[in-house]
Amino acid sequence: MDINISEARSKVNARGFLDIEVDPTLDLFREIERLKKEKNAVLLAHYYQEPDIQDVADYIGDSLGLAQQAAKTDADIIVFAGVHFMAETAKILNPHKKVLLPDLKAGCSLADSAPAALFKQFKAKHPDHIVISYINCTAEIKALSDIICTSGNAKQIIESVPADQPIIFAPDKNLGGYLNKITGRNMVLWNGACMVHEIFSLEKIKKLKVRHPHAKLIAHPECEEAILREAEFIGSTTQLLKFAVQDDAKEYIVATETGILHQMQQDAPTKTFIPAPPDNSCACNDCPHMKLNTLEKLYLCMEYETPEITMEEELRVAALKPIERMLEISRKAGLIG
Ligand code: SF4
């Protein structure tokens, strides 16, 4: 077993996770609870994680909620069941804590759509602009930004900037376009997008609405404009969840990653939630990056404390500033406690 573990450890960077067989008789829920106590570890999970992971997490949330939890935890170890940029954000906020990610290859097509070298050139072409970046970006992009935002606070962040100050918004062009519309700004947009939120088919949604005439279409602002135009409510993952619980309709067509349907169903068990159909026949509205994390990988990373997120201190400090700015503005706007 030990030889297997040291061999698996040596391959973690290449494989992304500890590639070890897990005893199928193990009660992983119990084991994960045991490890949390023994190691003083907190398990943070994004709404897009598989239901089993959501059920064993200490905190489930969207990017803003998770960043806030990461900022205030007193645990020794943060286990981040989400994608790489989220665990990176936790590390930026907690340099002295160990941050674990079940699979290092859990990336993000949106973060990947903004390579730092190209973005630097783009920024140099707009020297009088400040940069507001959506949290779904790499630490390098954060370090090139003035303020970070999430879909839950982006409007307030933009409105905190004087109206005559030109802004570059990165990396999501759909979210940026939507924000330009609701704030009346004319931000210069980086041409990035999320593969999951770009896949929804307007035609299929319209057909679905014929079959479910009372269902409300609710959408995440990373969706394309044509979908947002049809939506009866647009909001961050947390805002969609709140709306679905508090609103008085009985049926919803949900245009975002399907993982959130688990919480919606738990919080509003009498309502019906229908995932908005993608443009093809595969389950492309499941984020393939988020779903790389499994209960087995989660257990292994907690047991052996690897893969771990590490970062150069210079990069961390540069990336921290715009995140702190976001938390400060969000606090002032009453969005977080
Ligand atoms: S759903 Fe899109 S933005 Fe979110 S992690 Fe997956 S690829 Fe990135």
What are the chain's domains? 2-107+289-306 (3.40.50.10800), 110-194+317-332 (3.40.50.10800), 202-275 (3.40.50.10800)
Q: Which of 66, 62, 55, 77 is closest to 301 using CA atoms?
A: 77
CB 94 near ligand 1, within 6 Å: no
Write out pLDDT tens, residues 6-57. 999 999 999 999 999 999 999 999 999 999 999 999 999 999 999 999 999 9
Is the bond preceding residue 307 a cis peptide, omega within 30 degrees? yes
Tell me which of 49, 136, 220 to substitute to probe ligand 1's pocket, judged by most ligand atoms within 8 Å of the beta carbon. Answer: 136
Ligand 1 atom closest to 287 (CA):
6
Would you state the pLDDT for residue 76?
96
> Which residue's CA lies nearest to atom 5 of ligand 1?
108
pLDDT at position 70? 87
- Tell me what the pLDDT averaged over the chain comes to: 94
Q: Closest residue (by CA) to atom 6 of ligand 1?
A: 287
> What's the N-to-C CA distance of the chain in angstroms?
46
Using a 6 Å cutoff on CB, does residue 109 contact ligand 1?
Answer: yes
Residue whose pair of structure tokens reads 């995140």 in the numeric block = 323
Strands (DSSP E) contained in 18-65 are 41-46, 59-61
Q: What is the pLDDT of residues 279-326, one digit of tens each?
A: 766 656 789 999 999 999 999 999 999 999 999 999 999 999 999 999
For the Cβ of 199 lying below 6 angstroms from any atom of ligand 1, the answer is no
**pLDDT for 4:** 80
Instruction: Record the pTM.
Output: 0.90
Structure tokens at 221: 């602002």
What is the best residue among 108, 133, 260 to mutate for testing ligand 1's pocket, by most ligand atoms within 8 Å of CB? 108
Q: Are 17 and 87 in contact (CB under 8 A)?
A: no
116 touches ligand 1 (CB under 6 Å): no
SS3 219: strand
Q: What gap in Å lies between CA 182 and CA 130, rounded to an integer?
A: 19
Q: Is 193 within 8 Å of 112 (Cβ atoms)?
A: no
Ligand 1 contacts CB of residue 257 (under 6 A) = yes
Residue ID of nearest Cα to ligand 1 atom 8:
108
CA distance 32 to 49: 16
Bind-site residues for iminosuccinate:
46, 63, 134-136, 151, 220-222, 237
The answer, yes or no, to whether any atom of ligand 1 lies below 6 A from the CB of 193, is: no
